[in-house]
Structure 1
Amino acid sequence: MDTSSTTERYARVIEASKRVRWDIERDVIRGRRFDYTRPFLPSGLSLVDELPFLPEDDRRLLSQVQGRTYAYIFGLVERFISAKVLDISREHWFGDQVALEALVRMGDEEIKHQEMFRRLEAQMGQDMPAGYEQTANPNDVARAVLGKSTWAVMALTLDIELFVQAHYRASIGPRNDICPLWKDVFLFHWREESQHAILDELEFVAEDRKLDSQQRSAAVDDLIGLVGAVDGILQVQAAADARYFTRCTSTGFTPEQLAQIQDLVLKAYRWQYIVSGVMEPRFRKVLLATLDGAQATKIQNALAPLTYAMPQRLTEMAIAA
């Protein structure tokens, strides 16, 4: 690894961090509240258009329920990300001080993001009907994740921070019909996460260089286990959100429609938090560069049952191709 060029990449992240730095109240919230006459998550992420029997008001409500969970899940994952960043910064304590500053800044920003999402959750808790459930405890999740290998945790972190960018660029940023405050939350979140993904890649590659083939195979198993654990969280949260949505709406649904709603919410969450990330070309390029054929096949086979979870338009394009 070219140490000078790597240090330069850390330095550029610091420069960008200083340039895009924002304050929760002054720049993002600005005294505003959420606009419940508008959707939160766009349909490219919520997939609500795939339930044609939903009235327009219910599509909007389901996008808001999913949007609340979107903010909750990001607050949850940033609990372990900030802790891991502080942990790996030790590698630079008595070495590259530019890298150390970049990671300290990242940790500070991730802690700020957690605070922002807590404040937004408190606001949504006041404005939305009672009964919403957060089904996973952030500290319990963080402890479980941090028990896995650094290689696996950094691979998962890179995946998360790359799909943040993909979601904003492809689905959130172009839409003018969604709630302005909700959109701004993820605009400012995206600006800082764009720098974090660079650091994730640098640290993941550095960690990979320490491993032999046997250690990497064990780390691949850890990564597969982490993806399975994420999916377990999504299954429970999707069921809770589907129940909450149907309690909040006045529309009467048949048992078949209720099952379709729950299936759709789980599909949307798998798309948002797993499949959209592993489809990102940059993530695939970085990850696959570290794997041999057997390791790559093992990951592909583990993900295969989840690959149905993508928007119908993408599935139709894949079939046509």
Structure 2
Amino acid sequence: MEIMTDGHAVTANRYAKCIAASKRVRWDIDRDVIRGRSFDFTKKFLPDALSKVDSLAFLGHDEQRLLSQIQGRTYANMFGLVERFIAAKVLEMSGPYRLGDQSALEALVRFSDEEIKHQELFRRIERMCAEGMPAGYAFLPDANSVASFVLAKSTWAVLALTCHIELFVLAHYRGSIDGDMNSSDLWKDVFLYHWREESQHAILDEMEWQREDARLSPEERDAAVDDLIELVAAVDGILQTQANADADYFAMICRRPLSMADKDSVRTGLLAAYRWQYIISGVQEPRFSQALGGMITGNQLSRIETAMAPIMS
């Protein structure tokens, strides 16, 4: 008979709860999410709280709606991108449990299966957007190249980035998407169903990140902090590149010529919005900052804050 300590019993119970929740909210792309519908292009996709299009006062209502749709298209593609490396890392994390804790193994296998499904969902969303929007849009990052770069970093840093992503997904849906009355109903449903499964993923991320942290030496953790800083810088590089591409696309399909000053404002506004969506909103999420703060020293936190300063400003 296996005797479990209180701590192990609590951990096992959390895995079991994630499995139960995964079974309860399980959904199908066509049956539950899309249901034969198309996007309503008379409505915005991303709410203003995320897209920040309302800060570009020189754009008319229709132009702000168009820019929110471009941002929404990139938003879906960004999740398809990051879920490539998340699924791969979760499969790797499940390895040590193969002949051990079968609840942990099932929870992580379900996690990876759901992330693979999410990739397919966002590929579908891209095709549906392409059908309803003018030609010329380009999502520039290559998912496999990005995944190879990320997965070459320490597991601690990859799990930190993954936890950060999962938590801002939850914050975006609860704080902005759910209550927005101006967004396409299908668009909102995509992220409702995505949120339902990501809620379990965030719990598993925290558990596995803490488990990895517990086995590191101080020197290994210090090197992992450097890896995390490099990953955040790489994400910001992707955002800068995509903000430029999306600004060019908007200028091309906008129904009036934009001045150079207006084009620059759109470009700057997109980068600020993307930094908010994919970096700042996650960094400021209390659940993430508390988890990170409980693992690192004051000096390491200062290094992270110094590296983040240009982005946060």
TM-score range, shorter chain: over 0.9
CA distance in 1, matches of 2:142, 2:61: 33
2:207 corresponding residue in structure 1: 202
1:62 corresponding residue in structure 2: 67
CA distance in 1, matches of 2:284, 2:62: 32
Matched residue of 1:253: which SS? coil
CA distance in 2, matches of 1:253, 1:232: 26
Tell me the CA shift for residue 94 of structure 1. Answer: 1.6
- 1:21-70 deviations in whole A, cap 9, x for unaligned? 00000000000011000000000000001111000000000000000000
1:316 corresponding residue in structure 2: none
What is the aligned counterpart of 1:150 among 155, 161, 182?
155
1:315 corresponding residue in structure 2: none
1:49 corresponding residue in structure 2: 54
CA distance in 2, matches of 1:155, 1:71: 21
Gaps of 5+ in 2: 1-5
- 1:257-298 deviations in whole A, cap 9, x for unaligned? 110110000000000000000000000000110001111111
1:236-315 mapped onto 2 (5 Å cutoff): 236-308=241-313
What is the aligned counterpart of 2:14 among 2, 5, 9?
9
Structure 2 letter corresponding to 1:275: I
What is the aligned counterpart of 1:112 among 110, 117, 128?
117
Q: Does 1:98 align with 2:103?
A: yes
Matched residue of 1:2: which SS? helix
Tell me the CA shift for residue 252 of structure 1. Answer: 2.3
RMSD over aligned CA atoms reads: 0.8
1:318 corresponding residue in structure 2: none
Structure 2 letter corresponding to 1:267: A
Tell me the CA shift for residue 254 of structure 1. Answer: 1.6
CA distance in 2, matches of 1:197, 1:251: 43
Structure 2 letter corresponding to 1:15: A
- 1:211-243 deviations in whole A, cap 9, x for unaligned? 111100100000000000000000000000000
1:93-242 mapped onto 2 (5 Å cutoff): 93-242=98-247
CA distance in 2, matches of 1:229, 1:3: 36
CA distance in 2, matches of 1:10, 1:299: 31
CA distance in 1, matches of 2:278, 2:256: 29
Structure 2 letter corresponding to 1:288: G
| TM-score when normalising by structure 2 | 0.97
Post-superposition, which runs of at least 4 consecutive aligned residues in structure 1 deviate over 6 A? Answer: none
- 1:108-139 deviations in whole A, cap 9, x for unaligned? 00000000111111111122110101111001
Matched residue of 1:193: which SS? helix
- 1:149-168 deviations in whole A, cap 9, x for unaligned? 00000000000000000000
2:93 corresponding residue in structure 1: 88
CA distance in 1, matches of 2:165, 2:257: 36
CA distance in 2, matches of 1:120, 1:169: 21
Tell me the CA shift for residue 77 of structure 1. Answer: 0.2
Q: Does 1:72 align with 2:68?
A: no
Structure 2 letter corresponding to 1:200: D
User: Which region of structure 1 is more displaced relative to structure 2, 107-116 or 91-100?
Assistant: 91-100
Tell me the CA shift for residue 91 of structure 1. Answer: 1.8
Tell me the CA shift for residue 251 of structure 1. Answer: 2.1
CA distance in 2, matches of 1:187, 1:217: 37
User: Which region of structure 1 is more displaced relative to structure 2, 186-195 or 249-258?
Assistant: 249-258
1:25 corresponding residue in structure 2: 30
- 1:135-186 deviations in whole A, cap 9, x for unaligned? 1100110011000000000000000000000000111001122000100000
2:3 corresponding residue in structure 1: none
| TM-score when normalising by structure 1 | 0.95
